[in-house]
């Protein structure tokens, strides 16, 4: 079936997204230990990239939009990272007197 031009890229992307959904769901049942989380987030990242590029057409938008999209992500990393300096090290350094 020959898809009209406006549906081609969306359709291909959609099939890829559904395939990735199957993989991520199935992959959750594999005994990978901590890598289950890594796999799940990695596949989520790939799906997001497909949505960003194919559906949201980020790369065809003004470059300023890339900067702000990136900034949102980068600032989220700051929040996670610096909060991590507390939560990841609480049991690491002993406090004098305890």
Residue 31, Ramachandran bin (φ over 0: left; ψ between -120 and 50: alpha; else beta): beta
Decide: is 1 part of the binding site for other proteins (CB under 8 A).
Answer: no
- C-alpha 10/C-alpha 6 separation (Å) is 8
Identified binder of other proteins from the candidate list 2, 87, 97, 98, rule CB under 8 A? 87
Q: Which residue has the tokens 């987030």?
A: 41
| Contacts to other proteins from residues 26-85, by CB under 8 A | 28-32, 36-37, 40-41, 43-44, 47-48, 51-52, 54-56, 61-62, 64-65, 68-69, 71-73, 75-76, 78-80, 82-85
| Distance from chain centroid for Cα 85 | 22
- Identify whether the C-beta of residue 26 lies closer than 8 Å to the C-beta of residue 40: no
Tokens of 82: 């610096």
Name the site residues for other proteins (rule: CB under 8 A): 4-7, 9-11, 13-14, 17-18, 21, 24-25, 28-32, 36-37, 40-41, 43-44, 47-48, 51-52, 54-56, 61-62, 64-65, 68-69, 71-73, 75-76, 78-80, 82-90, 92-93, 95
């Amino acid at each position: 079936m020959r898809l009209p031009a406006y549906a081609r890229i969306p359709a291909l992307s959609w099939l890829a997204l559904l395939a990735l959904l199957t993989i991520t769901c199935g992959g959750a049942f594999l005994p990978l230990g901590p890598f289950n989380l890594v796999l799940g987030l990695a596949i989520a990242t790939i799906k997001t990239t497909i949505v960003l590029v194919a559906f949201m057409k980020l790369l065809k938008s003004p470059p300023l939009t890339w900067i702000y999209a990136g900034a949102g992500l980068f600032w989220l990393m700051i929040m996670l990272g610096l909060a991590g300096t507390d939560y990841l090290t609480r049991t690491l350094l002993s406090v004098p007197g305890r």
